[in-house]
Structure 1
Amino acid sequence: MKTLAIVHTTPVTIEPLKALARELLPDHQVINFVDDSILPKLIEDPSHMSFVRKKIIQYMKFAEKTGADIILNACSSVGEVVKDAKKEVNIPVIRIDEAMAEKAISEGNKIGVVATLATTLNPTMALLESKAAESGKEIQLESNVASEAYQKLMNGEKEKHDHILKDLLEKMANEVDIIVLAQASMARVVAQLPKSSQSKFLSSPKLGMLRVREIAERA
């Protein structure tokens, strides 16, 4: 059996991604590396990114040493680390939000980006702009940060988190072509939205895991 290593910055993403792996990669066992000190450091001071970058790459190197065949970086706030990690490990490293960004660019011109954590917003916007430039497409980005929802989630108040986010997403759905959810932890809220509008929302977990499967099959 092959091994998928997932690097998390919050325990919130562990179970949803394990469930997706069971569904989409039944021939892979999953090992999780979780460091919930990373996001608080970045919230406190974004200049910690240099230290965080080294830390995450060390986790990925260790994952390779322990026998991982492929690595998924589960946090969009530190998604840009993947570019450097690919130079330092010898197995595929996947950025969870890359497939989502590519799909958003292919399907919309006016793209909404919603985050509950400010540190995630800029990396996601930069990724979308990079993918648009690669495809030669001009896009317009509209962004919103629901900070209160993140605090509710960290306090264990998942229903309040979902309610705040649901209201914001329903409002934005009328203003843009498509909406990108910048964090994997936001994905489950889409199921609570009207079915008629759910196709307007893109979240990274399933698209990211499908990309992992694609790369794993190719390898």
Structure 2
Amino acid sequence: MNEPRIGIIHTSPATVDLFGRLLREALPSVRVVNLLDDSILPELAANGGDLSTVVPRWSDYARIARERDVDLILNACSSVGEVGAMVEPTVGIPIVRVDTEMAREAVRRGSRIAVVATLATTLRPTSDLLVETAEGLDHAVTIERVLVDGAYEALMRGDQAGHDDKILAALSHAAETSDAVVLAQASMARVVPRLPAEARGKVLASPPFAVKEVLSRLSLRPQA
């Protein structure tokens, strides 16, 4: 495969540049096709996380990506992580869930896992994935769900600093009592470098793990 083509379906502008950079660092020859719908997360927040309302158009985005001749689709949003498996049989190309490999690593780290999110709708799918992964690996885990109150609202007001400070405090506290701290949203990873080294080592963000999974599914190795 000389020029792999990866389609990425985003629900936040924050992940567009992030995944483009990580994929190009691993595969300089990669071609990335981005599709963004930033109305999905507000809709899920309003309807209590009812995925049935967004599945039809997410399926359309996957079809559009396939028509652009991509080799694989990356579902970049954990809030709709389950949707990929629903539509993959009809799309006909692999769909990688952004947090699958991260969940495996979290379960390998230990039995006490904290899941940190700014949106309630991301806590359930991420926690459920961790439980399913642990069962598949025959590991017993305890999941602590941490919703960072006010962080999402701060972001919507344009207060990026306030958003980041709230996440930083939540991650610092979670790291004290957990073997692994899972970020339920890839966009939260920007805060991790501000943590002390010991805490930083416990925090898992999905983007680098997702890129690893993409390469594995395409039977590729990082290019020099």
Task: Tell me the TM-score normalized by structure 1.
Answer: 0.95
Q: Report if aligned partners of 1:118, 1:147 keep a CA contact under 8 Å in 2.
A: no
- Out of 167, 171, 174, which is 1:172 matched to? 174
For 2:109 and 2:86, how far apart are their aligned partners in 1? 29
Shift of 1:139: 0.6
- Alignment partner of 1:55 out of 49, 54, 57: 57
Return 195-204 or 38-47, whichever deviates more: 38-47
| 8 A Cα contact 2:49 2:121, kept in partner | no
Q: Measure, in 1, the Cα distance between the counterparts of 2:92 and 2:67.
A: 10
1:12 to 6, 14, 29: 14
TM-score, length-scaled by structure 2: 0.93
Q: Which amino acid aligns with 1:213?
A: L
Choose from 26, 29, 32 the match for 2:31.
29
Q: 1:178 to 1:47 in 2, by over 3 A?
A: closer
Of residues 95-104 and 209-218 in structure 1, the stretch that sits farther from structure 2 once superposed is 209-218
- Aligned partner of 2:126 in structure 1 is 124
Decide whether the 8 Å contact of 2:176 with 2:199 is kept in 1: no
In 2, Cα distance between equivalents of 1:217 and 1:114:
32
Q: After alignment, is 45-54 or 180-189 more displaced?
A: 45-54
After TM superposition, which residue ranges in structure 1, 4 or more long, deviate above 3 angstroms? none
Note if 1:216 corresponds to 2:218.
Answer: yes
Sequence identity of aligned pairs in percent? 40
Structure 1 stretch 23-32 or stretch 149-158: which is displaced more?
A: 149-158
**Post-superposition offset of 1:2:** 2.2
Q: CA deviation at 1:204?
A: 0.4
The 3 A distance-change label for structure 1 pair 48 and 140 is closer
The residue identity in structure 2 corresponding to 1:167 is: A
One-letter amino acid matched to 1:7 = I
The AA in structure 1 aligned to 2:10 is: H
What runs of 5+ residues in structure 1 fail to find an aligned partner? Answer: none
Separation of aligned partners in 2, 1:97 and 1:147: 22
- Name the Cα RMSD after superposition: 1.5
1:50: Cα distance to partner? 0.7
Distance in 1, matches of 2:158 and 2:20, equals 20
Aligned partner of 1:80 in structure 2 is 82
Q: Which amino acid aligns with 1:187?
A: A
